Amino acid sequence: MSSNSLQETIAEAIQKTDKSFFNEDYMKQAMAVITSLRKAGYEIVPNKASDGLVDFACDNLPFGRLKQQDFIKELYVLLVENARRFPQ
């Protein structure tokens, strides 16, 4: 993950995308922001997991004995990486 803050990442993406003063393409800017965030290691996900995502996570939980911290880290990655596959 980049050392840039989330705000800096968004600001840089918008600045690099559209240099015009008129007729700004906000969809182009939005896509540039999303792409920059993903390159920086961020993902945009809903604040609540869909039922499909919860079911997917339950079916794919890591097996074996993990320390609580390791289990939470693996579960977090599983949920975030798959959130777009199971929309609300």
- Where does the pLDDT of residue 2 fall: very low under 50, low under 70, confident under 90, or very high at 90 and above? very low
Q: What percent of the chain has pLDDT over 70?
A: 92
Q: How far is CA 16 from CA 4, 31, 51, 83, in A?
A: 15, 12, 38, 28
Q: Note whether 11 and 35 are same-domain residues.
A: yes
Please give the average per-residue pLDDT across 30-43, as a whole number. Answer: 88
The answer to whether residue 27 sits within a structural domain is yes
Range of the domain at 32: 6-39
- Same structural domain, 35 and 57: no
Q: In Å, what is the CA distance from 64 to each residue of 8, 43, 58? A: 40, 28, 14
Taking phi first (over 0 means left), then psi (-120 to 50 degrees means alpha), and beta for anything else, what does residue 23 get? left
Instruction: Look at residue 38 and tell me whether its pLDDT is greater than 80.
Output: yes
| Number of domains observed in the structure of the chain | 2
Q: What is the pLDDT of residues 7-34, one digit of tens each?
A: 777 887 877 776 777 767 777 888 888 8
55 and 78 housed in the same domain? yes
In a domain, 44, yes or no: no
pTM passes above 0.85: no
In a domain, 71, yes or no: yes
Does 28 map to a domain?
yes
* 46 inside domain: no
**Is 45 part of a structural domain of the chain?**
no
pLDDT tens string 47-61 = 888 999 999 988 988
